[in-house]
Amino acid sequence: MWAYVIRRLILMIPTLIIISIVVFTIIQLPPGDYLESYIAELQSQGESVDKQKIAFLREEYGLDKSMPEQYFTWITGFLKGDLGYSFEYNMPVTEVVGDRMYLTILVSTVTIIFTWIIAFPIGLYSATHQYSWGDYGLTLIGFIGLATPNFLLALVLLYLANVYFGTSIGGLMDAQYINQPWSWDKFVSVLEHLWIPVIVIGTSGTAGMIRRIRANLLDELNKPYVVTGRAKGLGETRLLLKYPFRVSLNFFIADIGNMLPSIISGAEVVALVLSLPTTGPMLLSALQSQDMYLAGSFLMFLALLTVIGVLISDLLLAVLDPRIRLGEGATR
């Protein structure tokens, strides 16, 4: 096991290096850079351009260097904890992320917990009451949840809240707390607004998880070891939770590789529709404006979380399912 873990950790190094090269190359593929886009925007508005200032900024942040030199400067700074400088926000990347990161983690974590609380009981019920009226009804709701885009549900809620209640449900806090230091009143305001994005973002995830839990559990319930357990006199609840349900969670554990980066990135489209101050819209804006340090550092952080999440899921799968073996004995 330890040899497997060490080997995987070593393989993470070339994997992240290759990802960093791909990320940096893709960000640099569009013609020009942020300063050229900034100049074009000023000229389109009829404003003058200070060429000396532009030249100073280009030299200050290494935009006058070749692409390999820019990549080396960026990646060495990233390894030292220096995520670079955001041209669009005129401040270091770490300060740009700031509260957005905490709010994104809060929204995503509560959404995941909401998804689990709803999906697991319903999935268990549907699998153990196959073809009942309850199963048919929950299956219909699940299909509706899968077929309804999150951003469409967000638009519907925004419309209904405005028409019938005369209020806006966008954002994560009241207007007076925006850009203000954290306080108890601000935290309470966030909690009051939190349920709307949690329901909107969690709808499709909950529906999808219900379907997968039901399908995996039905597959396990038909296997011989379940019949053997019943023959030995095990109670239905104990038999269900200890064996088939435990094995049917393999897909859930395998999703940890995608779950960790999604906690940080958030639901970008829903965040745009609901005007949420999370990191998703910030990343989209950075990619559009070619804010290379902000976009590149954020994408690398997501890649790092993905690689770590995949490793964690592999290790947890080996613990959860005794049929899975890691290391040299896996092929025996």
**What is the pLDDT at residue 96?**
82
Element (H, E) at 99: helix 93-128
Confidence band (pLDDT; 50, 70, 90) for 18?
very high
Mean pLDDT of 240-252: 80
User: End-to-end distance of the chain based on CA atoms, in angstroms?
Assistant: 15
In this prediction, residue 155 has a pLDDT band, given cuts at 50, 70 and 90, of confident
Domain boundaries, the chain: 32-70, 97-331
pTM: 0.77
The CATH H-level (homologous superfamily) assignment of domain 97-331 is MetI-like (1.10.3720.10)
Chain centroid offset of residue 225 CA: 37
Going by the DSSP 8-state scheme, the letter that residue 32 receives in this structure is S
pLDDT at residue 332 greater than cutoff 70? no
Mean pLDDT of the chain: 80
Confidence label for 266 from pLDDT (cuts 50, 70 and 90): low
CA angle 288, 291, 294 (to 5 degrees): 115
Residue identified by tokens 């400067």 is 73
How many Cβ atoms are within 10 Å of 166's Cβ, its own excluded?
Answer: 7
The Cα–Cα gap between 55 and 47 comes to 17
Query: Which of 12, 81, 27 minimizes the C-alpha distance to 291?
Result: 27
Percentage with pLDDT > 90 across the chain = 2
Q: Per DSSP, what are the bridge partners of residue 91?
A: 86
The widest CA-to-CA distance across the chain, in whole angstroms, is 85
What does DSSP say about strands 91-92 and 85-86: parallel, antiparallel, or unpaired?
A: antiparallel
| Whole-number Å distance between alpha carbons of 13 and 282 | 27
Least Cα distance to 88 among 48, 33, 27, 34 occurs for 34
Tokens of 296: 């590149």
Residues 129-162 as b or e (16 or more Cβ within 10 Å = b): eeeeeebeebbeebeebbeeebbebbeebbeeee
Q: How far is residue 241's CA from residue 243's CA, in Å, rounded to a whole number? A: 6
pLDDT one-digit tens code per residue, 79-125 = 887 777 787 787 888 888 877 888 888 888 888 888 888 888 888 88
